[in-house]
Amino acid sequence: MRYVDEFRDGEMARGLARAIAAEADPGRSYRLMEFCGGHTHAIFRYGVQDLMPPNLRFVHGPGCPVCVLPMTRIDQAIAMAAEHGVTLCTYGDLMRVPASERNSLLKAKADGADIRMIYSTQDALAIARQDPGRQVVLFAIGFETTTPPTAVALKTARAEGLKNFSVFCNHVLTPPALRTILASAGPDGVQLDGILGPSHVSTVIGSRPYEFVPVEFGKPVVIAGFEPLDVMQSALMLVRQINDGRCAVENQYTRAVTRDGNTKAKALMAETLVPRQGFEWRGLGELPNSALRIADAYADFDAELRFPVAPGAGKEIKGCECPSVLRGVMEPIDCKLFGTVCTPENPMGACMVSSEGACAAYWSYGRFRQPKAAAGAGKSAAA
């Protein structure tokens, strides 16, 4: 696969690993937050941490839109399907995420709700066209990468007069989340020396929106590509900035990211979606101007207006440390529920269900590093 395989080459990885080891100052530590869940997944899946010197650690961030979606929003989506009888279209990632009362989209589907897994917003539009008698709701989630497809769906629905189509909008924004993490960084919060910026969010929004990070928080940012070699090269670029005492936004993913991003996509988003005043993020609390709702001009396609449902309690399971894991202050193995009560079979929180969640990634790929955690996990696997 072109532009994929070259960036996974083991030989090059060893070369980069040597370079990082040579340049990393043994007298200090490098704590690099990989903000994006896709990076978490890549790091674990390829074992990138193994190739880093011991004083360089990746810290997991909240860039996992499934993980930060509050339980109440899933409750509301289920209610739309169960109480209003809509056809709810969702991406596969959400099917098993625990909602309140141990419910989930998958369980609701088994109970008879019309919940369908889609791959693209185009699929949801097609379902709406096929059956004009049914109300079809797109359960829209994701950061700025997944938002433009929703914008296209809204515009298309308007152009075609698809009266039975609407969107339940849960899109969230990266810069405010980054700001919250950095604001809470410090001796009592998460310890950070640099940020690996998200790959595909950045292809849309460009590198410009990260410029506040060095200016306001004095931390370097390197926008990193999606493949493991990209992650390694970006780590090297951060090491160099940190060593040199420099602090800037650098772009490693130049083959797909420019300063201004995708102007066409940004325009479509601006036309159909506007910032919400506030939005609750699982783990990070209420963040102002951090999420999007449907613009007034497209209000007739807003599922929240068309199908009002009660917000629901959305109580986190006691002992679940997803909020701390999302903030980077806790490792999955530090959570008492990890590997004992909370396993992929029986996830307590979103970090274990979403394959990008740190807990799931750790369970799937990294448990063998920690005999203590492994012992607990091994028992439950055998159970």
Partner 1 sequence: MCLAIPAQILEIDSASDTALVSLGGVRKPISLALVADAAIGDYVLVHVGYALNRISPEEAERTLALMRECGVLEPVEAEASQELLQ
Partner 2 sequence: MDQSRSRKPRFAGRLDLKHGAVDMSHGSGGRAMAQLIEELFRRQLDNTLLAQGNDQALFQPPAGRLAISTDGHVISPLFFPGGDIGCLAVHGTINDVAMCGARPLYLAAGFILEEGLPLADLERIVASMARAANAAGVPVITGDTKVVERGKGDGCFITTTGVGVVADGITISGDRAAPGDAILVSGSIGDHGVAIMSKRENLGFETEIASDTAALHELVATMIAAVPDIHCLRDPTRGGLATTLNELALQSGVGMQIREEAIPIRPEVAAACELLGLDPLYVANEGKLVAMCPGDRAGALLSAMQAHPLGRDAAIVGQVIADPHHFVQMETSFGGGRIVAWLAGEQLPRIC
Which positions lie near partner 1, rule CB under 8 A? 1-4, 6-7, 11-12, 14-19, 21-22, 24, 26, 36-38, 53, 63-65, 91, 119-123, 142-143, 145-146, 148-149, 152, 198-201, 203-204, 225-226, 229-230, 233, 236, 252, 254-256, 262, 264-265, 268, 356
- Picking from 317, 329, 326, 316, the residue whose alpha carbon sits closest to that of residue 360 is 326
Residue 84 within binding range of partner 2, rule CB under 8 A: no
Q: Which is nearer to partner 1, 337 or 360 (CB)?
A: 360
3-state secondary structure of 210: helix
Helix segments in the chain, DSSP class H: 10-23, 37-46, 65-68, 71-84, 105-110, 121-130, 147-160, 174-184, 200-205, 212, 228-244, 263-272, 303-306, 322-327, 350-353, 358-361, 371-382
Give Cα separations from 320 to 84, 349, 352 (angstroms).
31, 7, 10
Residue 236 within binding range of partner 2, rule CB under 8 A: no
- Nearest distance, CB of residue 347 and partner 2, angstroms: 8
Bridge-based pairing state of the strands 285-288 and 278-281: antiparallel
How many CB atoms within 10 Å of residue 131? Answer: 12
* Dist CA 362 CA 355 (whole Å): 10
Residue 358 within binding range of partner 2, rule CB under 8 A: no
* Dist CA 267 CA 172 (whole Å): 17
- Picking from 124, 113, 61, 50, the residue whose alpha carbon sits closest to that of residue 89 is 124
Residues 19, 21, 95, 256: which binds partner 2 (CB under 8 A)? Answer: 95
Site string for partner 2, 8-37 (x = CB under 8 A): x-x--xx----------------------x
Q: Which is nearer to partner 1, 227 or 331 (CB)?
A: 227
Restricting to residues 137-176, name those near partner 2 by CB under 8 A. Answer: 142, 146
- Picking from 341, 339, 344, 343, the residue whose alpha carbon sits closest to that of residue 377 is 339
Task: For residue 128, give every residue at least 6 positions away whose Cβ sits within 8 Å of its Cβ, in sequence order, or none.
Answer: 134, 136, 157, 162, 164, 165
Restricting to residues 200-229, name those near partner 2 by CB under 8 A. Answer: 228
Longest dimension (CA), the chain: 67
84 binds, among partner 2, partner 1, none (CB under 5 to 8 A by kind): none
Pull the structure tokens for residue 158. 């308007």
Q: Which is nearer to partner 2, 255 or 369 (CB)?
A: 369
Site string for partner 2, 52-81 (x = CB under 8 A): ------------xxx---------------
- Nearest distance, CB of residue 280 and partner 1, angstroms: 19
Residue 92 within binding range of partner 2, rule CB under 8 A: yes
Restricting to residues 112-131, name those near partner 2 by CB under 8 A. Answer: 117-119, 123
User: Using CB under 8 A as the criterion, which residues of the chain lie in contact with partner 2 when the complex forms?
Assistant: 1, 4, 8, 10, 13-14, 37-38, 44-51, 64-66, 91-93, 95-96, 117-119, 123, 142, 146, 228, 343-345, 354-356, 363-368, 374-375, 377-378, 381-382
